[in-house]
Structure 1
Amino acid sequence: MAGGSAIRGSRVGAGPMGESERGEAAPRVWVSYWCSNGHEVRPSFAKEPDIVVPETWDCPRCGLPSGQDQENPPLAPRNEPYKTHLAYVKERRSEKDGEALLDEALAALRERRGG
């Protein structure tokens, strides 16, 4: 164990940081957002005329989108399930088209094999 009188987690010149050293904080406005699970999040924004407060905010507890209307929070996004290549092919082709393509491919294969 290293000896010495150093205080852990500090460095030379480090001192208490207060508003006297940092300057005054900008005026802030707190906006409440609610998600569909009822969680409330209150981020703060600078109170300046050119700052636009977003309509939605991601909930830090559940990740769902939150809105400023507590009675009507935004709905959770709908996640599409993973589709296989075959599922996409079935969306584009009918059963009849699939059978015609299969027959054509089998005929070409039989012709190459000579039987």
Structure 2
Amino acid sequence: MAGGSAIRGSRVGAGPMGEAERGESIARFRVSYWCANGHETKPSFAEDGTVEVPAEWDCPRCGFPAGQDKNKPPMPMKNEPYKTHLAYVKERRTEAEANKVLDIALKKLRGDD
């Protein structure tokens, strides 16, 4: 395939993107965060002080929370298993209370008021 175009894959008017077109880039600094698995991540933040550096950052490798203290990283949150509506009701009422509420509801349905 001789005679290929030198500008293949390019648009008309496209040119090199540089500092002149995008503007000056702002000074940045990096902060190290460590998770409970020992992973280190280093996000960068603007030096101009417009953003406050957070105390914790999510680890991109495992998803655990990461902190700035390598020796004491934050522990991951415990995920509670899904509870059914009945499980929540049983937490709020005793068996005797549940039977009392059921009796009242059955009397209403039967018209025994």
TM over 0.5: yes
Map Cα deviations across residues 33-82 of structure 1 (whole Å, 9 max, x no partner): 11111111111111124432111111111222111111111111122221
Offset at residue 88 of structure 1 (A): 1.1
Alpha-carbon RMSD across the aligned residues, in angstroms, is: 2.2
Match for residue 27 of structure 2? Answer: 27
Secondary structure, counterpart of 1:34 in structure 2: strand
Q: Quote the residue 2:46 is aligned against.
A: 46
**Which segment is superposed worse, 80-89 or 43-52?**
43-52
Distance 1:54 1:31 in 2: 10
Q: In structure 2, what residue type is equivalent to 1:70?
A: K
Q: In the aligned structure 2, how far is the partner of 1:53 from the partner of 1:85?
A: 40
Unaligned runs of 5+ in 1: none
CA distance in 1, matches of 2:103, 2:11: 78
Secondary structure of the equivalent of 1:25? coil
Structure 2: where are the runs of 5+ without partners?
none
> Normalization by structure 2: what TM-score?
0.79
1-structure distance, mates of 2:22, 2:105: 75
Q: Distance in 2 between matches of 1:37 and 1:90?
A: 37
1:68 match = 68
- Shift of the 49–103 alpha-carbon distance from structure 1 to 2, 3 Å rule, reads closer
Letter in 2 for 1:38: G
Measured in 2, the distance between the counterparts of 1:54 and 1:65 equals 12
Give TM-score scaled by structure 1 length.
Answer: 0.77
Q: Which residue of 1 aligns with 2:8?
A: 7
DSSP-derived class of the 1:86 partner: helix
DSSP-derived class of the 1:57 partner: strand
- Matched to 1:7, the amino acid is R
